[in-house]
Amino acid sequence: MALLATPVPTTTASYAVYDRITHTLTGRDVHKPFRSASLVKILIAIEQLETRGDDPRIEPMLRVSDDSAASELWVENGWDQLVVRTAERLRLRDTRPPEKRGMWGYTAVSAHDVVKIYRYLLEEAHPRVRHTIMGHLHRAEKCAADGFDQSFGLPSATWRPAFKQGWSGFGDPVKPCVDRPRPRARWEPDLKSPALHTSGTCLFSIVAVLTLHPEGTSYAKASKRVTGLTEEVTKHRC
């Protein structure tokens, strides 16, 4: 078994930006694997909609990143095999299921594959699947179900994006987001360093920014870094 990566000493990032007009992809380390955190919830929603139909839990899972809804749908759709099936169907070359099948947030993804997921939704998925998922992402809320502020990255750096965020390794929020409180309704990926990701669409671009931060980095500091990087990679695009 390959050894897990050691925590990063400084912030590391990869990103991919796909221009839907010129059909070109730009980025950095686009195939580097990261643990997905909540970005895998998009795959959970795709699998549920394509194989079992709509479900009321998809809305809180995508709009406020509800973990309980994700966990239930993960189990009902086959645990880690959900990732195997969707990766094959969407032709995702870097996406791998978690070693422990119950830990859906440890699914491995890359910026390249995150962009491919959005391209699949916009270009290939059944309109019902596309409209359901992208509709929820367009109406994603500022405050997540667990109290973290989701407004970093794309929603802070671009105009009216559809977005899905991911975070892991920050403990509990120091200052819970209460704007709209809501009750519950081969590289190896680094599984230790705090991860903070932003992904989505803005104007004619698809964007994925995946980052890892030194242990002890605050959520606020990491959020500021991700927003700054997002502003850089989306400049003159969104």
* pLDDT at site 188: 73
* pLDDT at site 5: 60
Domain 12-234 CATH (choose: 3.40.50.10890, 3.20.20.410, 3.40.50.620, 3.40.710.10)? 3.40.710.10
E strand segments, the chain: 12-19, 24-28, 34-35, 108-109, 162-168, 195-202, 205-212
* pLDDT at site 224: 97
Q: How far is CA 100 from CA 78, 94, 97, 152, in A?
A: 13, 18, 8, 29
Report how far residue 214's alpha carbon sits from residue 103's, in angstroms, rounded to the nearest whole number: 22
* pLDDT at site 10: 83
Q: In what order do the strands lie in the sheet with 162-168?
A: 24-28, 12-19, 205-212, 195-202, 162-168
Percent of the chain at pLDDT > 90 equals 87
Provide the residue ranges of all domains of the chain, joining segments of one domain with +: 12-234
Predicted TM-score (pTM) of this structure: 0.86
- Partners of 96 in beta bridges: 108
Low-confidence stretches of the chain (pLDDT beneath 70): 1-8, 179-187
* pLDDT at site 22: 96
Where helices occur in 103-218 by DSSP H, the ranges are 111-123, 127-138, 154-157
Name, in order, each residue with C-beta under 8 angstroms of 186's C-beta and a sequence gap of 6 or more. 2
* pLDDT at site 181: 43
Give the tokens for residue 36: 């997905």
* pLDDT at site 186: 56
